[in-house]
Structure 1
Amino acid sequence: MNCLVVLVAGLILSASPGNCLKCYSCSDSEERCMTNSVNCSEGEQCYLRVVESGGVQFYSAGCMSLAACTVKHDIGEALVAVSCCATDLCNASDQVNLSLLLFPALVSVWFAIFM
């Protein structure tokens, strides 16, 4: 019975609620966008835009339509790169999504205790 409770708890904690995608959000920040978040509308993905100008990088993040994703171009002396992703809080760049690690960790603990 205990192993069933652990397994069900792991599934619940690793699942994301509904179809609403959650993304980090900021506008023209010199720091990576990992503080505020926003819920996207249907048909949108998380984006991270990096603008490099004069050796300084500025970050913007949030939700964007799929058609506007994956852009890289030069504007004068600035380089603009936009990338998109489709899992919760995936637009932090170099950020590991905790929910993806939580379930395997719980299964490992279960096997360590009960096997």
Structure 2
Amino acid sequence: MSGDELLLAPLHDLKREATRIAELDPDCKFYLFGSAVTDPRACADYDVLVVATTHEKRMMVLDEMAGVCGTWPIDLVVFSPDEEAECDFIRAQACQPLDTNYRI
């Protein structure tokens, strides 16, 4: 595996899991924030926000993401839409949708 492939492996795994979870819950939204967005070549971990509508769906996201979070350095934050809106997290942290094409 080349250096760039190794650098992109966590992102590929995140996208794969987000796609799989979206099949279970199409309303679930995934975002990247922090150094994964501002300086992807130097990021030590991937900060991921997931917004899911119900408590059950948020628990499902945590369960479904356990494998990829155990494999890669991923910090996972899971909010309801109301929790995200209350702290305006997406704007405040300059979150980017996970499906954005990132350049490394």
For the criterion TM > 0.5, the same-fold answer is: no
More strand by share: 1
More helix by share: 2
TM-score, normalised with respect to structure 1: 0.27
